[in-house]
Amino acid sequence: MSKSSTFSKAKGFKKSKAGTYLSIGTSLFGAVSVVKQAKQARHDGDRLQLVDAAISAAAITTGVLLLVRELRRMSSDDILAGD
Q: What is the pLDDT of residues 8-58, one digit of tens each?
A: 655 666 678 889 999 999 999 999 999 999 999 999 999 999 999 999 999
pTM of the model: 0.71
Maximum alpha-carbon separation in the chain: 54
Residue, of 9 and 69, whose pLDDT is higher: 69
The pLDDT confidence band at residue 4, using thresholds 50, 70 and 90, is low
Q: How far apart are CA 28 and CA 11, in angstroms?
A: 21
Q: What pLDDT sits at residue 45?
A: 97
Quote the Cα angle for 22-29-23, to 5°: 20
> Per-residue DSSP letters for 17-72?
HHHHHHHHHHHHHHHHHHHHHHHHHHHHT-HHHHHHHHHHHHHHHHHHHHHHHHHH
Residue 67 neighbours by CB under 8 Å, 6+ apart = 20, 23, 24, 27
